[in-house]
Amino acid sequence: MPVRMRTALVPFATLPLAACAGRQSALDPQGLQSNQILQTLFIFLIVAAVIWTAVVVVLCIGLLRRKRHADQPLALHQGFERTSGYVVFGLGLVTLIIVLGLSIVSYAGQRTVFAKDEHALTLKIIGHQWWWEIRYEDDSPHQSFVTANEIRIPTGQPVKVELESADVIHSFWVPSLTGKMDLITGQKNELQFTAKNPGVYRGQCAEFCGLQHAHMAFAVLALPPDEYGRWRDHENQSATSPTDTLGKQGEQLFRARGCALCHTIRGTLAGGQLGPDLTHVGSRTTIAAGTLPMSSATLGAWIADPQHIKPGSNMPKMPLQSGELIAMIHYLEQLK
């Protein structure tokens, strides 16, 4: 497409949109596990603060108190040597007890955080450089589907994510809900969490996975259970065919320009497996794994020049005329 049009889109792409990213903080727990972890953290913080303060106070008093006068380094009082011996030993014992106590507190917290519920809703997540493949699986294959970079879950229900990697080690981390767990090649890991309140929670890959590790985020949307049920049914369906000319043009371009080689849009002939599933891309809150908020402008900027926004990502720059880009954006936007 003409350079001018691409350049014009870039500022739109980089405009920060207000608060749509979602919460991403261990200090703002909205899940059962993150809540437990924060409580454990508070206990540790208080103990740590007390100990550090005590050390600094003793240090200051020690430095400032009046001393024996003569500078005779070897003139030691046996009384002090003995007493200090007991004090050091005693403090050592206290340290040991505190450490054992904290270990127990930690283990108790650990058991709560890692408790497994058999009736958890199961999702499989496969990490790729630099996006997340999400598989909602069901006993019936008709109820199973694939999506990418965004998870929706019901509130109040344990959710189990089964974590695998297609390439290098990644880490699934959504701090507002729970602690992280790595996605390790050749191994299946599991993580369970329960969202207490509805909301948008941002997660980010937390294990260095290469060039665009910084841009491998995802969103977890916790919905009230019935809303979740409706979403799941809808998401399970194939993409609706466009009815307008521009949309039809976009759908045709999607195949003609090679997008279908990497991406799947269920219900069409596009069946590529290398990149994220785009069946309902229009309903996602972000693009390129949390790199940009979803909008026409950002969608266009991304498609026009992915290497500019996420250099090194596996999506090549496809040659598109400006009119073709508009049709493409229009088609993808209505894949809700």
Q: Which of 210, 224, 225, 271 binds another protein (CB under 8 A)?
A: 210
Binding to another protein, residues 280-299 (CB under 8 A): 291
CA distances to 123, 146, 161, 273 from 142, in Å: 15, 12, 20, 19
Least distance from C-beta 24 to another protein, angstroms?
A: 4
As a whole number of angstroms, the distance between CA 286 and CA 302 comes to 11
Here the tokens at position 291 are 């790199």
Least distance from C-beta 131 to another protein, angstroms?
A: 16
As a whole number of angstroms, the distance between CA 309 and CA 187 comes to 32
Least distance from C-beta 214 to another protein, angstroms?
A: 4
CA distances to 91, 92, 95, 169 from 53, in Å: 15, 17, 15, 40
As a whole number of angstroms, the distance between CA 39 and CA 163 comes to 26
CA distances to 12, 21, 92, 255 from 9, in Å: 5, 20, 64, 24
Q: Which of 7, 143, 144, 185 binds another protein (CB under 8 A)?
A: 185
Strands 217-223 and 150-154: what pairing?
parallel
Considering beta carbons, is residue 37 or 239 the nearer one to another protein? 37
Q: Could you say whether residue 73 binds another protein (CB under 8 A)? A: yes
What mask, x for binding another protein by CB under 8 A, covers residues 52 to 71?
A: x--xx-xx-xxx-x-xx--x
Binding to another protein, residues 212-251 (CB under 8 A): 212-214
Q: Is residue 183 within 8 Å of 126, Cβ to Cβ?
A: yes
Q: Could you say whether residue 207 binds another protein (CB under 8 A)? A: yes
Q: What is the size of the binding site for another protein (CB under 8 A)? A: 93
Least distance from C-beta 202 to another protein, angstroms?
A: 8
Considering beta carbons, is residue 216 or 278 the nearer one to another protein? 216
Here the tokens at position 183 are 């996605």
What mask, x for binding another protein by CB under 8 A, covers residues 23 to 52?
A: -xxxxx-----x-xx--xx--xx--x--xx
Q: Which helix (H) or strand (E) holds 148?
A: strand 145-148
What mask, x for binding another protein by CB under 8 A, covers residues 149 to 178?
A: ------------------xxx-x-x-x--x
Which residue is associated with the tokens 């993409």? 239
Considering beta carbons, is residue 48 or 261 the nearer one to another protein? 48
Q: Could you say whether residue 317 binds another protein (CB under 8 A)? A: no
Binding to another protein, residues 76-115 (CB under 8 A): 76, 80-81, 84-85, 87-89, 91-92, 95-96, 99-100, 102-103, 105-107, 109-114
Least distance from C-beta 183 to another protein, angstroms?
A: 9
Q: Which of 11, 138, 143, 211 binds another protein (CB under 8 A)?
A: 211
Q: Which residues contact 246 (CB under 8 A, 6 or more apart)?
A: 326, 327, 330, 331
Binding to another protein, residues 256-275 (CB under 8 A): none
Nearest CA to 165 out of 196, 131, 137 is that of 131
Binding to another protein, residues 115-144 (CB under 8 A): 129
Q: Which residues of 23-48 are buried (b: 16+ CB within 10 A; e: fewer)?
A: bbeeeebbbbbbbbbbebeeeeeeee
